[in-house]
Structure 1
Amino acid sequence: MGWLDSWRWAFRDPILRLVLIVTAFAGLIVGLAVPFLSLVAYQRGASYTVVGAMASSYLVTQAVLLFPAGALSDRVGRIGPLIVGLLLEGSATLAFAFVKLPILFVALRVVQGIGLSLTYPAARALIVDTTDPEHRGRAFAAFQGAFNLGWLLGPAIGGVLASVVGITPLLVVGGLSEIALALTGLLFFRRLPVVHQFVRRAASKETLTPRRVGLSSLFTLPLLGAFLLAFGYQVPYGLFSGIWSIYLKQLGASDVELGLSFTTYAVANLLMLPVGGRLADRVPRWRRLLPLSWLLGLVIVGYAIPAVPAILVLGAVEGALGALIVPSVDAYLASVSDPRAQGRVQGAYTTIGVAGAALSALCSSVLYQAGRIVPFATGGFVLALLSTLAVPLIRLGERQREQEAVPVSDEAPLVRR
């Protein structure tokens, strides 16, 4: 019952419920189309270089724009960037069905990167805006779970549809569906009490003067701890994005086992997220983040074991650990952030994570050529090292929060239920 209760709680608040529904459908729609984008480009004459540029341009766009997009949501509100981002992603997916020039495939991935950059920090900041501090861990766990649920179902449904109607009609359906999702989301958000887009309402308080909040609000030791973890957690992801399928195929994995390597992670993560959400709302968080991060680093190193069944088991362990770690970091980040700069903080946090993934992705093939164990050992070591450096800063941040008589970011949510 505890597992179900966690999800029931997340759906009681109308704004959070709508955010979760939009997120789940976005994950489902993206999962329908994204696995086929590179294949479509290749089938229409794009070279391996162009296919690689599609992936790198998508990451680079996010690394460049996530922070300014988060800052934009602080100035104009959350809903506008969120909806525009969905419209851009959907329009680019739809265009994939018709373009043939290689350069346009890269350009469309850039547009999708812009769309995600607008949507992601705005959605995360909206969750902070509308939830009580003591429930933010569960809220972020529900947010992650909603996307994972959609992403878990999307590729499977997309594969079936592609085999029946073909890839091009699938891209049309995916693009139009995301556009429809954006317009429907806008309609429902306008009906909810999202008065003055949260941030502007907060700005009317005498204690808040958002124009005076500069970049210095991002350069604090407590935030640095969260940023180090963001970078460290994404390094293995970047390494895997470049070599994972090649590595498993060289170990003799079948296509089914290759798919299961993603499914075991996603299922375990989804099942454990309600537990991770409840755990995230308990302080101090630093005491569990360090051992859990070290254990996750060992799992990353363990992927070097040349046995597919063992790798599938480790995938489930990694998914479970991620569910226990990530909501705690998200809740901590919200607790030590200035509420006037939540969009910027969320944008900076995701930008640093994407930078870690992009940098490690560039190094993945070089490390893999040096030996199969090298990328896994590197990823596990970097994660453990940065976690060791980050946790004392997180401990400092939590102690500072305890000493504050009236914590700024622990005010009542800007929209009362």
Structure 2
Amino acid sequence: MNKQDFNEGLLGFLDASPTPFHATKNMAMMFSNAGFTKLDEAGKWELQKGEKYYLTRNDSSIIAFTYSDSKNYTMVGTHTDSPNLKVKPNPVIKEHGVVKFGVEPYGGLLLNPWFDRDLSLAGRVTYLSSQNIIKDALIDVKKAIAVIPSLAIHLDREVNNTKSINAQTDITPIVTCNENFTKETGGFDFDDFIKEQLLHAGIDDVKELYANELSFYDTQNASFVGLNDDFIASARVDNLLSCYVGMLSICSVDAQTPMLFIASDHEEVGSASTSGAAGSFLENTLRRLFSDYEEYMQLIRTSLFISADNAHAVHPNYPSKHDKEHSPYINRGSVVKINANQRYASNSKTISKFLNVASSLGEPTQNYVTRSDMGCGSTVGPITATRLGIDTLDVGLPTYAMHSIRELCGADDAYSLYKIILGFND
């Protein structure tokens, strides 16, 4: 696969994955097409050496693995979730001539970029069928149905000097001017709207709606930006970019190669869930691969876990926010992430393994250390290392505007990391 094909596929994946549920579904389809067999966590597994498998949990986290004779696995860990605005259970607000949907910020998102964007809605809906069976379905409205208009500068002359955003009152998306948002007055209510979206998804057997997990997202497609298509701009670059790299990596190896890929949900809110990295999903899966404890521990102590997440590229307009000796540049290679306080799990041994493979392939690498007077984010790396006791490395792809509604990465870096990961199996 060349870089152009790689990046074109990346843009398509980003556009088709507005929520973790959609990202997981798309990766599952990719694995199925690549010859992986789907496993059910609730069923009995009959694994065969030399075969490839995948499984999901909560429809929002996914694991794919080869079942090899070797226990020297290369594991790649990423996350499926991104900061966004989630719809509240009773979302409809009617006031001041409009209907708005109440939302709750998910994760540490930049709120300012959400103003004046064409927003749509997607996620998972749980309902009762006419056979009294509880079922789930994914919906994606796709059409721009909402906007959060900015307050005009005439009404806030100090906005460019001091701007704070109240997450309860300032960011409720407007969806219509029709305040008669009920069946009785000839409009339609929220449940009717959801049922209509289910009908578009081919589901007409809905006896009762129970719950939903819906998120607003920007309808602008991912695209190349720059005089020479230097950049890729998109929503959810953090961390679907790494999901795409890990997914293609394991799809590119044969079934005899010991490799595993996991994309977990809820990293942006601490990973503490059944489908998050702090949960049992990966450990449960590995114990079923090697039920004998001696073999399991051999796997843990001979394997390497590569936590792949985004890294802060030095911002050309704010260089003082970075340690000048550890400031990654976009399109200059993958970033090794290091923190003395174990916010990243890299150590000298795991770093050396990565650098050795990258050097052998002629692929560039960079280091990132946050300023000593600033806080440091974290990843699934330390969480996984702590839970499993597996040697772990934190790497990332340099990015601008992390946690904005539209982020920016380089057109060269992801393909370079893809080649390095494959190099661990040569």
- In terms of fraction of residues, the more strand-rich structure is 2
Which has a greater percent of helix? 1
- Could you state the TM-score of these two structures normalised by the residue count of structure 1? 0.24
Structure with the larger RCO, 1 or 2 (CA within 8 Å, 6+ apart): 1
